[in-house]
Amino acid sequence: MKECVRGIRLVAFDFDGVFTDDMVYVLQDGTEAVRCFRGDGIGLQKLARLGIEAIIISTEVNPVVTARAAKLKIRCIQDVTDKRKVLEDVATDLNIALSQVAFVGNDINDLPALRCVGLPIVVRNAHPDVIRHAVYQTSCPGGHGAVREVCDLIEEALAPASVTTLLHN
């Protein structure tokens, strides 16, 4: 697993069901609100320090996704009908191969992206139809630290052995 992770240069995340628990609060004026795990931000900072790009790719168009991505200081592309095409375009822009991309998803609309990347990941509570397409399934469910878990996994795989030993002792 660590060998697969070591080549990753971009981590792309679905939003609903990955950053969130796939639930939505709908207020009486129609505004939507979601719950996210604060620790994900520290994980994304780790990726940035390692020089690994992170991006949110979502089929939804929702200001809450834009606001969360801005707070986390990561790029966000919304209203996506073809996540594979977006991944191909982003990889081309970054001059990397799809084999150097990890994608984290949770449902069938993520299948094209999961099937084309070097490291397909799903969250613990992913829909059963996508689990078999993943190389890794998080122990944390979406919205409860799954993003942080992925970031920690990558950091651990890339950290020199001596640093990892010091951090865990």
How high is the pLDDT of residue 161? 52
- Look at the chain and report how many structural domains it folds into: 1
pLDDT band at residue 162, thresholds of 50, 70 and 90?
very low
pLDDT in tens, 23-76: 999 999 999 999 999 999 999 999 999 999 999 999 999 999 999 999 999 999
CATH number at residue 69: 3.40.50.1000
Helix H, strand E, coil C: the string for the chain is CHHHHHCCCEEEECCCCCCECCCCEECCCCCEECCECCHHHHHHHHHHHCCCEEEEECCCCCHHHHHHHHHHCCEEECCCCCHHHHHHHHHHHHCCCHHHEEEEECCHHHHHHHHHCCEEEECCCCCHHHHCCCCEECCCCCCCCHHHHHHHHHHHHHCCHHHHHHHHC
For residue 155, the enclosing domain spans 2-168
pTM for this predicted structure: 0.92
